[in-house]
């Protein structure tokens, strides 16, 4: 079942700007992950944040997690044309390694 919901559905920004997208989920989680999908391709894992973590960084990516609000955000700083893709959040639950994905945010970075 679909657990996460990303917001906004679509985002268009200028190269060099920051992109922020949000994910909300319904039930308590064990971990939350973000994946990227380039047009017509498979998903690529970006970052995983555990339920006891509040913030995590990886290169130009910053993820926050607020378990009290059941939400997460993904920030991409200094965006590049190559960041044009769809971004999905995925959640899992303790002792259950299946993932539940949201519908995704489509990001377009204009040159």
Partner 1 sequence: DVKVTQSSRYLVKRTGEKVFLECVQDMDHENMFWYRQDPGLGLRLIYFSYDVKMKEKGDIPEGYSVSREKKERFSLILESASTNQTSMYLCASSLSQSSYEQYFGPGTRLTVT
Select from 21, 33, 63, 71 the one that contacts partner 1 (CB under 8 A). Answer: 33
Select from 31, 72, 79, 84 the one that contacts partner 1 (CB under 8 A). Answer: 31
Q: Please name which of 27, 26, 32 lies closest in space to residue 46, comparing C-alpha atoms.
A: 32
Sequence-distant (6+) residues with CB within 8 A of 93 are: 27, 28, 29, 30
Q: Which stretch binds partner 1 (CB under 8 A): 10-18, 25-33, 60-68, 75-83?
A: 25-33
Residues 4 to 23: which contact partner 1 by CB under 8 A? Answer: 4
Q: What are phi and psi of 20, to 5 degrees?
A: -125, 130
**Intra-chain end-to-end CA distance of the chain, in Å:** 37
Handedness of CA 104, 36, 106, 8 (dihedral sign): positive
Q: Does the protein bind partner 1 through residue 58 (CB under 8 A)?
A: no
15/30 with CB nearer partner 1: 30
Q: Does the protein bind partner 1 through residue 102 (CB under 8 A)?
A: yes
Binding region for partner 1 (CB under 8 A): 1-2, 4, 30-31, 33, 35, 40-45, 48, 88, 90, 92, 97-99, 101-104
């Amino acid at each position: 079942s679909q657990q996460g919901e990303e917001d906004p559905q679509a985002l268009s920004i200028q190269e060099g700007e920051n992109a922020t997208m949000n994910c909300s989920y319904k039930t308590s989680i064990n971990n939350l992950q973000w994946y990227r999908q380039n047009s017509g391709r498979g998903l690529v894992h970006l970052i995983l944040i555990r339920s006891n973590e509040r913030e995590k960084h990886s290169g130009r990516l910053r993820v926050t997690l607020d378990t009290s609000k059941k939400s997460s955000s993904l920030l991409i700083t200094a965006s590049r044309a190559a960041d044009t893709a769809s971004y999905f959040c995925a959640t899992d639950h303790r002792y259950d390694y299946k993932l539940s994905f949201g519908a995704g945010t489509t990001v377009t970075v204009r040159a």
